[in-house]
Amino acid sequence: MLQTPEERLDALNLALPKLSRPAGNLLGFKADRGLVYVSGQLPLEDGVVKYAGRVGENVSQKTAYDAAKLAALNVISQLSLATDGDLSRVKELVKVSGFVSCTYDFTDIPAVVNGASDLFVAVFGDCGAHSRFAVGVAALPRGVPVEIEVIARLRDGGIQ
């Protein structure tokens, strides 16, 4: 049985993307009193946009699901940085926020954000279960179809 999130990532044949510097005067994450607030992550592969466009216009729901999964993988990279490379220190994902750039008539937004939610549960097991919102928006940074942000609780109270 797979025990650690890192082992689960390996079993899924997934590698954490290299993090790029945030575009602006912000941090990739902020830790406070045992919680880690991960800034919105985009579907970047080693700092480069992999998916661009709007769902319902030039991006399919399946492609957007994959984009959400990649954005979630970038969230996990931030959590790895916040935990000094030990994802087992993540006690639980508390809240996931999903933003989907889509046409006004595309309403299956939750199915897109499931790409992130499904990955979080696959990597963290029961600790990956979370509350969530998923909203459609007119546009996202760098023209991407999905942005994912997370609040996570650490096991040991975390870094201050």
Say whether pLDDT at 103 is over 80: yes
- Dump pLDDT digits (tens) for 6-31: 999 999 999 999 887 777 888 999 99
> Which pLDDT score, from 0 to 100, does residue 129 have?
97
State the pTM of this model: 0.95
> Which pLDDT score, from 0 to 100, does residue 24 have?
83
Nearest to 91 by CA among 16, 11, 151, 1: 151
pLDDT bin (cut points 50, 70, 90) of residue 2 is: low
What is the share, in percent, of the chain residues with pLDDT greater than 70?
96
> Which pLDDT score, from 0 to 100, does residue 19 have?
86
Structure tokens at 92: 């639980």
Nearest to 14 by CA among 154, 147, 118, 129: 118
Mean pLDDT of 111-139: 97
Which CATH number does the domain 5-9+31-154 belong to among 3.40.630.30, 3.30.1330.40, 3.40.640.10, 3.40.50.300?
3.30.1330.40
Per the prediction, the chain carries an average pLDDT of 94
Nearest to 92 by CA among 38, 40, 152: 152
> Which pLDDT score, from 0 to 100, does residue 160 have?
43
Beta strands of the chain (E only): which ranges?
29-32, 35-41, 44-45, 48-49, 90-101, 131-137, 146-154
> Which pLDDT score, from 0 to 100, does residue 61 have?
98
